[in-house]
Amino acid sequence: MNKKIIPLLLAGSGLLAACDAQQKASVPAVNKADAVAEVNGQYISKSALANLESEIAERSQGQTFPKDKLVEELVQRELLVQEALKKQLDKSPEIVEKLEQAKRSLLAQAALQDYLKTKPITDEEMKAEYDKNVGGANSMEYKASHILVKTKDEAEKLIQQLDKGANFKELAKKNSTDPAGAEGGDLGWFVPTQMVPPFSEAVVALENGKYTKTPIETQFGWHVILREDSRAQAVPPLEAVKEQLVPFLQRQRIQTMLETLRSQAKVEILLPKEAPKAEPAPSLAPPAESASPEQAAPPVDTTAPEAAKPAEPAPADAAKPAETEAPKPAEPDATAAPQPADAGEAKQ
């Protein structure tokens, strides 16, 4: 990344500058001893520099920049803030609305952070989640292929062809509506929790080299499944997956909190209901290396969980500002539970 970051950062700092303008009346005065610069009599605090360093490190994946350039960035922000105040832009309806949105988003984030601080994830909870989704039944993984069709009748006819010696892979290429059909229906290696229950239950019940003698129905359609192989996973120790377990459990805790608040609140949705849009059924094929804990349960910032974060300014290498949105809770996903690493190869 080019380290001449000043103009690029300014492109995404409009909202930050506006927020600075609103906050000046309430933020404690900065002493000269605690300042890194002075702009027209206004001191810029050392904490502002530390916050900017943290912001840049997060947005540039740990890359650092010279302090003098970061201080210059803060000086330019302060100049813009002072110019905006001089023109009374902080009183324009558009800016007032954006400031209120930013305030509410930050308060929502603070509420979630406070909740997680007062109700931290315990060692017992991590151990229970580890036993449930890393060891136990999920210590086995399976390699399977499938043929997905729209009707039970189509699936039964395919099974009849297999009974007569037809090649499974060729039937999948010709008949499957799933994207994996182009690869002969190959789903690669996966653990049971990565698939919808009817599908995974059928795979577990089969023997290696056998296919289902009756069609299996899921929300995607009707499946004929071939279990190709199975193997035990090398289960990582609890300490090795704690970093993935904690944010996963935090999401669950946040979701429970939000559901409780919603059930206790009086909520009326005033927008008219939209007709549901038909969406193509997603492939059952797990993503590459999908059994790794990082991808099965993506880690989030434990101090500001993904579900709690308001939208941030554009990255340092993007030249447009980002809109601030209210934080949205992460949707629970039954297939998103952490899985052990080194689960083997998987195909898209």
| Mean pLDDT (whole number) for 305-327 | 37
Tokens representing 188 are: 């690669």
The residue among 139 and 335 whose pLDDT is bigger is 139
pLDDT tens track for 238-282:
888 888 899 999 999 999 999 999 999 999 999 898 877 765 555
d(CA 214, CA 202): 10
| Torsion (CA) 40, 46, 48, 51 in degrees, nearest 10 | 160
pLDDT tens track for 278-306:
655 555 555 544 333 333 333 333 333 44
What integer pLDDT is reported at residue 275 of this predicted model? 78
- Whether domain 137-232 has CATH 3.10.50.40: the reply is yes
Contact in structure between 43 and 32 (CB atoms under 8 Å) = yes
Candidates 196, 192, 197; CA nearest to 230 is 192
Candidates 239, 235, 247; CA nearest to 341 is 235
Domain 6-91, CATH class in plain words: mainly alpha
Tokens representing 236 are: 């990582």
The residue among 141 and 305 whose pLDDT is bigger is 141
Q: Where are the domains of the chain?
A: 6-91, 137-232
